[in-house]
Amino acid sequence: MKHGRYPFIIGFLIVPVAIYGTFVVAAYLQAFQLSFTNWRGFSPEVNYIGFDNFTKLFEDTTFWKAIRHHALLLIFLPLLTIILALFFSFLLNVGGGSKSGRTQGVWGSKFYRVVFFFPQLLALALVAVIFSRVYSPDDSGLINGLLNQFGAEPILFLADKDLALWSILAVLVWQAVGFYVVLFSAGMGSIPTEIYEAAALDGATRGTLFFKVTLPLLWNTLQVAWVYLGIAAFDAFALVNVMSVDRGGPDGATTVLGLEIFRNMQDYAQFGYASAMGVVLFFLTLTFAALTLRVTRRDAVEL
């Protein structure tokens, strides 16, 4: 019976593994192969040029500009999203204090969970279109329309090189917070209420409950959230492509690697060069995930 279970397990795994290998692993391998060629996407002939694409890549100022943008997103997107999501999750689960010896969230917390999750129901392209109108520099824009009522000058959120990336970052945070509010709420819901009640009886404040009880017990969930948000910071293609001026503008102020990969394939027919960018993006994302899991695992032990 012990040996008979392996054919049963293999029988269930062989189809999904074959599909994954065909459509995911094979695609990655082909991208690695194309990164060493000058293929332009139209000819069946593939000429291998070694590391020329990577040499050209590391001399490309637009590439380094995109890397800097990813670095900023990598710092601020997870940080702001997690801080806001933790704050709202704590309010929805513990912020109402203790009643009849039991901790509870603020009034209407179940309704607020639905409201926070609502942005997750919207496609990113739709979110980009909505906020393009919100940021519109004329009176039709929500923000500038309000500013105009007070006689203030319009703010060029997407046309100002110093504001454009931060404006898109704000949309990324707005879109992501709701999901992590629900995720952290689920994590907090799994923490035994007796722990909160015992701490409250000992005179613990809400701040103490958060930093000494909630945060350490929620650490594994925070680790997962940071990895996923970091991967999202390496993407951001959909919002930048729709919202930014001239796709990545003004003057490359919002460009990201995903957009540059798309542009080199779609506009310039440089499939080999675009594949080299994709390979670099792959290793950057993999390195980030590995380092984050390693560092946060060590910090979790210290906690």
Q: Best-predicted range by mean pLDDT among 63-72, 216-225, 284-293?
A: 63-72
What are the counts of helices (DSSP H) followed by strands (DSSP E) for the chain? Answer: 15, 2
pLDDT given at position 301: 44
Question: What average pLDDT does range 148-167 have in this prediction?
Answer: 86
- 114-149 pLDDT per residue, tens: 777 788 788 888 888 888 888 888 777 788 888 888
Q: How is residue 281 written in tokens?
A: 């993006």
For residue 111, pLDDT beyond 80: no
User: Higher model confidence: residue 33 or residue 295?
Assistant: 33
Quick: pLDDT tens for 37-71: 888 877 777 888 888 999 998 888 989 999 999 99
Over residues 222-226, the mean pLDDT reads: 86
Decide if pLDDT at 221 tops 70.
Answer: yes
Spans of all domains in the chain: 61-296
Kindly report whether the peptide bond that precedes residue 216 is cis, defined as omega within 30 degrees of 0.
Answer: no
Using a CB cutoff of 8 Å and minimum separation of 24, what contacts does 190-195 make? Answer: 191/217, 191/218, 193/102, 193/103
Q: Give the pLDDT confidence score for residue 45 in this predicted structure.
A: 78
Which pLDDT value is given to residue 2? 53
Which of these CATH numbers, 1.10.3720.10, 1.25.40.20, 3.30.70.120, 1.25.40.80, describes 61-296?
1.10.3720.10
Question: pLDDT confidence of 1, banded at 50, 70, 90?
Answer: very low
pLDDT number for residue 97: 54
Tokens of 43: 């000819």
Mean pLDDT of 202-215: 72
Please give the share of the chain, as a percent, with pLDDT higher than 90. Answer: 13
Nearest partner of 302 among 190, 199, 207, 219, judged by Cα: 219
Q: Is it the case that residue 157 has pLDDT exceeding 50?
A: yes
pLDDT of residue 220: 83
Alpha carbon distance 254, 29 (integer Å): 29
